[in-house]
Structure 1
């Protein structure tokens, strides 16, 4: 009897661990309305390149921005012609995180827009970053860490990675804060990243259960409204600090995702296949051209001609015959049934398409 209860206890603990592993924090499932980043962009100049910059003749905008920067520094270059190869015009992009304060730093990405070959070793000159409203929110400057390298000679060139783009960690300093009074919010919406009525209902139930009263309400499949005042917390920040760490078990649509370029197939946990028979084979068409040169006899009249010679053939492999795939009630059974066909991943993609067309694949089929 003791052994029985011991085994039962172990089984219950294992089930509890599995259930706990399937729960996800609310902060990983939703976006809080108003708590978002803001995209920034700027147009600047990179200097200090080792002869891999823009060709001024092909990129006149590089000369223009370089002249503007020098004139702001008190250097008069009006009417001068210069053709440096160590500068490049770039776009600088970044994201201003929510609640960023003046003086904090953010990462930026630098990308060449001219015919520069590499930004490796370059330094970005002070570049203002603006938001869609036209206001300057940050200023970027610093040494670029390029993500690739290139080498070339007279007869060959080698490029690894993308040397015309790079990043500057903590390369921009925030100069202006976004005007948003978060502490005055009376309610806030939780937007699900994957809208689903069941998941939204579970989020609502988890929040109400935590506070012991109805402080949240599901509006639709993708939105849950949280009443900050009803939570009786000190501020909206305190309320969200409690809510975001609550865990729920999300529901997912049955989905099959196929990447035709790499031959990758991903099946969701809820994918099901009805009982179906599958036959698959390969058909190969071969055409070979072997032209033959025909010349006249020595000292005879005539001319040399090329006579076309074509060989065409069709080869058909026997394939797998007609194989039966039993209806799968779990993901492991579906995988076992498909693996029994013994085909390559790319052939599996075609088989899954055909099974979907036959109405036996009960899942959303996504092709990328």
Structure 2
């Protein structure tokens, strides 16, 4: 049995698979073969618009927001992994305009081969992040498995009239992204010992940061749509917004913040399979500049864990919202806009 100091947690995520999300193309094939759900007037957001969470109306003033997410370790420190997994799952609630209320832990763990303290530390990290979010842990479920997996099922509350969905983006809106991208390439690089301790700390800080402050700041602004950038990458989630709203998106590559050394590491081969799958899924719906090489295209499609919010806000309020986010320490940038041109497509500049 390995001690907490000796364990290299990320090595366990390769034993049964990569721990990545099922790719968008494969997921679409699975879902479209399912029988349609019975119509329910209280189901405000379901599967139709590829949104981050489901929304179910309880009354004219109150609705539930529900989501679930879990994955294999992407960092070696168990406490950090717990924090990242919790921040990632809770983010879906913020993206829908809600506030997290309760969480359930989802645990798979090789209890006979990994030190139990590792699991304790994962749960401790998640618990601290849940408390930071103002939510309450109410239980969970665990199984003995060959590789560790961890995540949360989260329930939140939202005013039905203030739900932010992919479908709400309007032509003329500006797009704000609240975190840098590139953590998929960095987490792949960890497994090959390519990152310094400082780089791992920086990457971990980005993923473990809740989107709570960004969500609180955007609350009073005229935000028409919002999503969080996770496994399908910036372009993948932006494309869901384009298709859901029936509008086009313009994304300016130079304005998208990226973590240090991303291009160097990608050039050296540390591009995760999920990132390449994302690109293959979106490439027919995205107009990239001819001079943009494959590396930069992959980076914009990088499979993210616990990424930032992609906010579609009315143009006249965008600079004020951006300034307030930056002043609060959010790593936000204005990266593009919504257009009535090329509906359902993205143009990268």
Give the TM-score of the pair, scaled to structure 2.
0.19
Select the structure that is richer in helix: 2
Structure having the higher Rg: 1
Select the structure that is richer in strand: 1
Give the TM-score of the pair, scaled to structure 1.
0.18
Q: 1 or 2 for the larger relative contact order (CA 8 Å, sep ≥6)? A: 2
